[in-house]
Every structure is written in C-alpha cells, then in structure tokens.
Amino acid sequence: MTFTIAIDGPAAAGKGTISKAVAAHFGVAHLDTGLLYRAVGAKTLRGEGAISAAQTLCAQDLEADTLRTPDVAKAASKVAVIAEVRAALVDFQRAFARRQGGAVLDGRDIGTVICPDAEAKLFITASAEVRAERRYLELIGKGTQITRDQVLADVKERDARDMDRAEAPLKPAQDAVIVDTSTLEIDAAIAQAIAAINAQRS
C-alpha cells in the first residue's frame, strides 16, 4: 500500500519538525526534499556547476554536517530556481513518494508539482516575523553571529525568491489544508496536522 503525505511551506514555519512527527505517527518514511537542494547548493559552493551537481547527487551528499548553514540555505534557494536542477531531482522525489508503506515528503512544491495526486496535503506557514525569530534563536544557539534584522531580511528575501520563481513557485495546493503555526506550540501544531491528515484519509 502506498500513501503519500505532501507537506509544503516556507522556511522556519515548523514544516520539518511536523513532517518528522507525522511520519513517526503514521509509521512511514520521511524525505526532507529541501536537503536535496541544500546538497546541490553545497556542491556549487565548492565550485561545481548547479546542473551537474543535481544530476550526480547521491545519498552520501545528503549526510554532510554543513547542510544547515545560512550560506548553504542561500545557495539552495538560488539553485532551486533553475529548471534543469528541479527536473534532475523530480524522479528521485516521486519514486520515494510512492514507496511501499507510504511516505511523507516536505518541501515547497510537493503538493503542487512533485505529488499533485498525494492522498493528503498540508501547507505549514507562519508570519515572516515569527519565522525569523525562530531562525534567529536557532542560529544564535549554534554560535552564529547575526542580528534579528539580518535574519528577517534573509527570510523575506528567500520568501520572495521561492514565491516569485517561474519554475514551481511556493504556494499552497488548491486542496491543501493550511496550518498556521504563528501562535501554536509545536505539540499543538503536530496534533492539528495529524487531525487534518486523518480527515483527508477518511
């Protein structure tokens, strides 16, 4: 049996945390598709061309400790607008989505482009200010020297790049359930997501 759960949303909305919890709850595999783009971005920072980096991506590339840095995040957002990069990664994502037993995929175009026929779709969001504060606290906790204003500017810049790109822009699928985490504790957000998925399954 296959059952695909597509979870989209902007950076720092809680999408990754919710996706992992949802996958654990339903006992299915989880793929953070953003890691694919981060891995490609990381390879470009080492001098490789974006399209070549995407076409030669392997599982080992997804395990690098450096994939969560701000520089890699910015590089990922830049390579994600390249149609050839997205095309190179589509088959990998679709094959993962239809694996036996079910799967959760989280990203920015899962419900709209990668898995438009997913059995359940969520769009996790929050205000730019709330997301920037979350990201700021995360970065400060890792010892990164950065200001709140810089993080907010980065979040808004990335939103604009993701939402305005010609290829697979970030937007909710028409049949996605919106979960706004701006004022939700993470446990409440996870519970709301699970309830929405159960409602779509029934």
- Which residue ranges are tagged as binding site? 9-17
108 touches 171 (CB < 8 A): no
Give binding residues for ATP as ranges.
Answer: 9-17
What whole-number distance in Å separates Cα of residue 54 and Cα of residue 41? 9
115 touches 97 (CB < 8 A): yes
What whole-number distance in Å separates Cα of residue 3 and Cα of residue 84? 28
Q: Can you count the helices (H) and strands (E) in the chain?
A: 8, 5
7 touches 122 (CB < 8 A): yes
Reading the block at residue 2, the tokens are: 């296959």
Dihedral sign, Cα of residue 63, residue 66, residue 69, residue 71: negative
What whole-number distance in Å separates Cα of residue 2 and Cα of residue 45? 37
What does residue 121 show for φ and ψ, rounded to 5 degrees? -135, 135
What whole-number distance in Å separates Cα of residue 149 and Cα of residue 144? 14
